[in-house]
Amino acid sequence: MELEHLGGFPRPDMMRRELQSLEGEWGFEYDAADAGIAGGWSSRPEFSRRITVPFCVESEASGIGDAYPPRVAWYAKDFRNELPGTPGRTLLHFGAVDYRARVWLNGRDLGEHAGGYTPFTFDVGEALEDENILVVRVEDSRDASQPRGKQTMLKRAFMVWYPGVSGIWQPVWLERAGEVYLAGYRVLADLKSGRVRIVCSLAGGRGEARVEAKSVSPLGEARHCRTELEKGAETAVVELELDLGELLPWSPHEPHLYGLELSVESGATRDEVEAYFGVREVRAHEGGIWLNGEPLYQKLVLCQGYFPQGHYTPLDPSWYRRDVALVKELGFNGLRMHQKIEDPRFLFWCDYLGCLVWEEMPSAYRFTPRMREALEREWREVLERDGNHPSIIALVAFNESWGVGVFPLPLNLRRATREYVRKICRLTRLWDPTRPVIDNSGYEHTSETDIVDIHHYLEDEERCAHLYEELRDLTQSEYSLRRGLVAILQAKVSHNPLAKGERYRGQPVIISEYGGFGYYRGGEGRSLQESYRAYTELIQAQEHICGYCYTQLYDLYQERNGLLGFDRVPKVPVEEIRRVNEV
C-alpha cells in the first residue's frame, strides 16, 4: 500500500480525502486594549491588515513580522464552502495556535482552546453556510508559567532562547465526516503473537454504527475486521483486533509501515479515514535500550524545529522531509526534538524514512498552579495526538529542571518540585505505557526515570573522560550543591547526574547533549569536523554509554553551533560526519 502521499496532508496519520484548506490570506488586527469582544469583532470584523496563515505573527512569512506583538490579536477568513453536500458532519481543525484561541463561525461561538502545541477540532454543525466568515481571537503572553519551550519570555532573544511564536502556526482545514465519525484511534501491537488491537474513539450522532478496519502489510497482504455497536452517547470507544501473523517490525534501518483504512457506517453516512502504523517494541532495562528485542545504540542529533522566515513553520512543507533526510544522510539514526512539539507531517517523515525521535514537552519557567495545570493538560494532549508514531521511542517530561528549578538557576532544590517531577513521570507512563520516560533531561534525575541522560559542554576531552568514568557506576554518585552552582558558571564541571536524595537503580546512560562547537567552549584550535570526531569517538569508546545526541543539527539565530547553517547548507562535509557516526 503506497503511503508517501500521506505526507502532503495536515494529519498524515488520520487523513480524510474530503477536505478544504483554509490557509492563505486572512484579515488581521491587533487588540491592544482587549476591546474586540465587547466591540463585536467576532461577528462584524473589519480588519485593516492581512496575514498569511499558517505563519506566526512574528515571522517574516506571515506578512506582519512584529518581533514582540501585543497580547491579543484577531484573525478573520472569508471563505466559500467547497465541500460536497453529502449527509454527515463537517469538522473544523486547527493544527496548533499559540497560545489561547477562541473561535467563531458566522458569529456563532464554537469554543476555545489553550495550549500552543496541540490540535483542536470543532464540529461546526449548522453554523456552516455557503458563504462564511471564520474569526479567531488569539491571546499570547510572555508569562513564564505558560509552557513555551525556547520562545523568549523577555522582549528580546537571549542566551539560548529565541524569538516568540504567536498565533496560528499549523494548518487550518475543514473535513467532511460521517454522522458518527472517528475522533481518534490507537494501535497496540504484540510482536510475538502478531495481533494488533485498534482502539477507536467515536463522536457525533447516536444509533447503530458499524466500524471496519483494513490493514495492508508492507508486502501487500490485506486483513479486515469489523464490529457493530449501538452508540448511545456523544462519544464511544470500540476495539477491533486483527491477526496479522508474523509482523514486520519498524526500525531505523527497515522502517516497515502498514497501511490502515478505518471506516464508520451510520445510517446513510460513511466516515473514511486513511492512516498507517508501525510495529515496534522499545524497552529500557538491564542498563540498555532495546528495540524489537535487540540492543539499540542511539546516534542522535538535537533538532529544534525552526525555519528561515517562518520561525516554527517552513515556507514549504517539503522541508520537513528534507530535514529528516539530512539527519539520515549525516549518519544519525534519530533526533531529539528539543522544546517543541513538531508538526505531524515532520513525524510522518520520521516514521517513513526511519528516524528515531525523542519527544519533549516544551518547558514553562515558573512553578505555579497555572503552570502545573497547563503542562499536564497539554502534555496529555501531545501524547494522545502522537501515540501512533513508531519513530517516537522516548518521552521527555522536563529539560534541565526548567520550570521546577529556581529560574534562572536550573537547579531543582525543593522537595515539592522533585516530587512533582516524579508525579509527571508516573502520569506519562499511565498515559503512554509503551515508551521509556525521561523525567528531567540532562541532570538531577529522580529514581523514576527510565533513562539517565546527561548534558555537558565540557571544554576538553580530559574532563569528558572523567565524567564518563563517573557514569560507569552511578551508585557512588553523591549530590553536591556546590557542583551544581559551579557547573552553571563554567564549562569545567558537569552537573549532578542525580537529584538530591535520589539513588541510581541501573538505568541506561546516554549523553544527550554535548559539543555545540562554535557557541559553547570546547574544541578550540580544531576545525568543527575534527572536534566532532574527537568528542564523538570518545563517547563511542565507552561501552557503558548507550548512545549520544550532538548539539546541534543547524544554526539558530544567535546560537550558531550547527553542523548545518540555518539555511541547511552543510558547514562540514556530510560524508565525514557520516563516517564518524557509522562506526
pLDDT tens digit sequence for 254-295: 999 999 999 999 999 999 999 999 999 999 998 999 999 999
252: cis peptide before it, omega within 30°? no
Pairing of strands 545-550, 509-513: parallel
Residue 522: its pLDDT value, please? 64
SS3 347: helix
Topology match between the domains 24-170 and 282-581: no
Q: Which residue has the cell 522582549?
A: 155
**Residue 440 and residue 499 in contact, taking contact as beta carbons nearer than 8 Å:** yes
Residue 519: its pLDDT value, please? 79
Helical H segments across 240-312, by residue range: none
Q: Which residue has the cell 487550518?
A: 172
What CATH number does the domain located at 180-189+192-277 have? 2.60.40.10
Task: Domain ranges for the chain, please list them.
Answer: 24-170, 180-189+192-277, 282-581
Residue 410: its pLDDT value, please? 79
**Residues of the chain scoring pLDDT < 50:** none
Number of other residues whose CB lies within 10 A of the CB of residue 147: 25
Count Cβ atoms within 10 A of the Cβ of residue 33 and give its class: 0-12 exposed, 13-18 middle, 19 or more buried.
exposed
SS3 278: coil
Which uninterrupted H or E stretch holds 76? strand 72-80
Residue 521: its pLDDT value, please? 66
Residue 523: its pLDDT value, please? 63
pLDDT tens digits for 88-147? 999 999 999 999 999 999 999 999 999 999 999 999 988 999 999 999 999 999 899 999
CATH superfamily, region 24-170: Galactose-binding domain-like (2.60.120.260)
Residue 249: its pLDDT value, please? 97
Residue 493: its pLDDT value, please? 82
For domain 282-581, is the CATH number 3.20.20.80?
yes
Nearest Cα neighbor of 150 from 493, 489, 400, 419 is 400
